[in-house]
């Protein structure tokens, strides 16, 4: 039965996104999870907001959108991995770092993904007898950051250290360099003084890594010295505004 639920969730997750009436009854507290190395574990709260119970399965993967509990691999233990949630009840997921076969880097954050699959109960009652119905299993997928102790710099100030450079190539684009040990997620970006958000100019920059942002709608890349306004998402899911300047 466990494999059936996992397969159902993986198969329907894309379909559910396109169905306006489908929504998760089991709500995850927060939009991301940060596990500090000094604590070794973190707790995630779930709430069942519906009037019916649900079967919930949770697992962690390294980035495979089609992962299941059977094939996912990570240096974390999650408990309980499979459980029933009654209506209007809470449940805590405990995520523990087990180190695994090889320790994670100590000089930067590591990124994983927490999956929470909700399978609603089969409809019962005389009104459903002999009726055909379509049932959705809904999977929530959140970023899980493992944060080593004593990383250099302040995570809240990491976005202000991003460097935006003119990217080469035929299309208008910017190259974002992250000199910090923290992941930085850019949710929107605008250029100059008009304040118009550029569609698709978003993404996540890895620690000490680079991200290419395509500037759709622009005929050419912005000139050096052009002002940039961008928004990032912090540990608590809040949006924070920042400013920068295009460098050559």
Least-confidence region, from 13-27, 90-104, 133-147: 13-27
- Please indicate, yes or no, whether residues 186 and 139 belong to a single structural domain of this protein: no
Cα separation, 228 vs 159, in Å, equals 13
Do residues 84 and 192 both lie within one domain? no
Final residue belonging to a domain, choices 147, 177, 211:
147
Same domain assignment for residues 29 and 75: yes
Domains in the chain, number: 2
Residue 184's domain spans which residues?
155-247
pTM of the model: 0.85
Please indicate, yes or no, whether residues 168 and 184 belong to a single structural domain of this protein.
Answer: yes
* Same domain (yes/no): 169, 140: no
The pLDDT mean for the chain works out to 88
Per-residue three-class SS string for 74-118: CCEEEECCEEEECCCCEEEEEEEECCCCCCCCCCCCEEEEEEEEE
In this structure, are 120 and 159 located in the same domain?
no
How much of the chain, in percent, has pLDDT values that exceed 90?
73
What's the mean pLDDT in 65-78?
A: 95
Q: Say yes or no: 10 and 45 in one domain.
A: yes
CA distance 38 to 149: 6
State the first-to-last Cα distance of the chain, in angstroms, to the nearest integer.
57
> Which pair of tokens denotes residue 162?
């991003």
Mark which of 98, 120, 147 sits at the end of a domain.
Answer: 147
State the CATH number of the domain containing residue 27.
2.60.40.10
Dist CA 202 CA 208 (whole Å): 18
Q: 138-185 pLDDT, tens per residue? A: 999 999 999 999 999 999 999 999 999 999 888 899 999 999 999 999
Instruction: Assign 136 a pLDDT band (cuts: 50, 70, 90).
Output: confident
């Amino acid at each position: 039965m466990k494999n059936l639920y996992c397969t159902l969730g993986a198969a329907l997750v894309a379909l559910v996104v396109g169905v306006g009436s489908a929504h998760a009854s089991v709500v995850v507290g927060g939009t991301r999870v940060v596990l500090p190395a000094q604590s070794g574990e973190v707790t995630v709260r779930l709430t069942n907001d519906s009037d019916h119970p649900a079967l919930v399965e949770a697992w962690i993967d390294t980035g495979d959108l089609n992962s299941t509990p059977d094939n996912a691999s990570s240096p974390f233990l999650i408990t309980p991995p499979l459980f029933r949630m009654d209506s209007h009840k809470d449940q805590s997921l405990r995520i523990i770092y087990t180190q695994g076969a090889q320790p994670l880097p100590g000089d930067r954050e590591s990124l994983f993904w927490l999956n929470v699959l909700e399978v609603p109960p089969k409809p019962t009652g005389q009104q459903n007898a002999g009726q055909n119905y379509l049932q959705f299993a809904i999977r929530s997928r959140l970023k899980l950051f493992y944060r080593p102790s004593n990383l250099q710099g302040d995570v809240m100030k990491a976005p202000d250290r991003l460097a935006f450079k003119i990217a080469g190539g035929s299309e208008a684009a910017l190259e974002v360099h992250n000199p910090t040990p923290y992941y930085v997620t850019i949710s929107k970006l605008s250029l100059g003084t008009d304040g118009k958000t550029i569609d698709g100019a978003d993404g996540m920059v890895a620690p000490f890594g680079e991200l290419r942002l395509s500037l759709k709608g622009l005929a050419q890349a912005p000139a050096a010295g052009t002002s940039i306004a961008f928004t990032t998402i912090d540990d608590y899911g809040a949006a924070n505004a920042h400013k920068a300047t295009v460098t050559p």
